[in-house]
Amino acid sequence: MTWLITGGAGYIGAHVAHTMTAAGEPVAVLDDLSSGDPARLPSRVPLVTGDTADPALLKRVLADHQVTGVIHLAARKQVPESVAHPTRYYRENVGALATLLEAAAEAGVRRFLFSSSAAVYGTPDVALVTEDTPCAPVNPYGETKLAGEWLVRAAGRAHGMATTCLRYFNVAGAAAPELADTGVFNIVPMVFDRLTRGEAPRIFGDDYPTPDGTCVRDYIHVADLAEAHLAAARRLAAPDTAGDLTVNIGRGEGVSVRELVTLIGEVTGDRRPAVVEGRRPGDAPRAVASAALAGRELGWTASRGVREMVGSAWRGWLLHQGAAR
């Protein structure tokens, strides 16, 4: 079976492409390269440059590569941008998904793996977030991911597709320096960026009801996340797989923002103290996954720790900073 990975030249998508290929799974990639980089992909993986909202292109790609399963990662994913441009987020994250599902159904694709997010939970008030924790997203990005899940499940029921939705928690790290995240949107590269410019890291709020007053999050190494995709894809490909599954992808361990910033200082050797600023709207005091269902259903558990995430991300940051000079 051949898997089409949309957004496969991006930070997470390229890790998935490498992991799938190394495991002997045939893949093809569709990416508009708005944030992807062809250099990230294994040399033998075919890349089609284009938009998942283009039905004619999708029809051709699905046929040309004899696609039997789709891993859909292509999406816009920046929360502040989603607040400023909600219609764009609904159009690109939900509208394009509808086009892709229609094309997949018409092509006879019967396996669909959807990249979702812990943002669907909003600000959960629980020690561990399970898949049964109520979903209450607090921004358009999270809303589009939840709507995407609804759409995937509905299309699966209508067209006989087996579907899986993976709810990622906080992704960090790199399997190799050249695959590192080059954007400055998540906390680890944001701290790197501040340190590189000679500025102190920022912590947004230190008066939360947590042990050190800063938000607690579940961080997952991107290589572990890619392996979760492989496990989910293989489960979907099994002859007796039917219906839908929704699974959290995290480590099940909380790390506070202050703990993470301290660890980054140890890894980089730049231990300058963080400055504390006001809380950001919508930040939950604690968001840590229960990863039990992933273990039972996918046979997958995370194996890499936070220090490994930070160290691998830092090596990638230095490589890309050097290349940019």
Q: What is the pLDDT of residues 245-267, one digit of tens each?
A: 999 999 999 999 999 999 999 99
3-state secondary structure of 1: coil
Known active-site residue 168: no
pLDDT of 281 reads: 86
Q: Would you say residue 69 has pLDDT above 60?
A: yes
Q: Would you say residue 324 has pLDDT above 80?
A: no
Q: What does pTM read for this prediction?
A: 0.96
Percent of residues, the chain, with pLDDT higher than 90: 94
pLDDT, tens digit (0-9, with 9 covering 90-100), for 14-60: 999 999 999 999 999 999 999 999 999 999 999 999 999 999 999 99
pLDDT of 286 reads: 96
Report how many domains make up the chain: 2
CATH number, position 212: 3.90.25.10
Q: Quick one: which of 169, 163, 202 has its CA closest to 184?
A: 202
pLDDT of 129 reads: 98
pLDDT of 224 reads: 98
pLDDT of 231 reads: 98
pLDDT of 240 reads: 85
Same domain, 76 and 208: no
pLDDT of 323 reads: 63
Same domain, 266 and 138: no
Q: Would you say residue 287 has pLDDT above 80?
A: yes
Same domain, 129 and 35: yes
Same domain, 188 and 64: no
Same domain, 102 and 23: yes
Same domain, 7 and 148: yes
pLDDT of 42 reads: 94
pLDDT, tens digit (0-9, with 9 covering 90-100), for 214-238: 999 999 999 999 999 999 999 999 9
pLDDT of 241 reads: 84
Range of the domain at 137: 2-171+221-249
Same domain, 225 and 235: yes
Q: Which two tokens stand for residue 259?
A: 């703990």
Q: Label residue 270 exposed, middle or buried (CB < 10 Å: 0-12, 13-18, 19+).
A: middle
Same domain, 195 and 288: yes
Position 242 confidence tier, pLDDT thresholds 50, 70, 90: confident
222 close to 141: Cβ distance less than 8 angstroms = no
pLDDT of 321 reads: 86
pLDDT, tens digit (0-9, with 9 covering 90-100), for 123-173: 999 999 999 999 999 999 999 999 999 999 999 999 999 999 999 999 999
Comparing 325 with 139, the larger pLDDT belongs to 139
Same domain, 155 and 55: yes
Catalytic residue among 141, 168, 208, 219: 141
Place of tokens 């992807």: 36
pLDDT, tens digit (0-9, with 9 covering 90-100), for 292-311: 999 999 999 999 999 999 99
Same domain, 180 and 139: no
25 close to 8: Cβ distance less than 8 angstroms = no
Question: CB within 8 A of 173, min separation 6: which ones?
Answer: 188, 221, 222, 223, 304, 308, 309, 310, 312, 313
Per-residue DSSP letters for 68-110? EEEEE------HHHHHH-HHHHIIIIIIHHHHHHHHHHHTT--
Same domain, 104 and 197: no
Q: Which residues of 306-316 are buried (b: 16+ CB within 10 A; e: fewer)?
A: bebbbbbbbbb
CATH number, position 89: 3.40.50.720
Same domain, 213 and 85: no
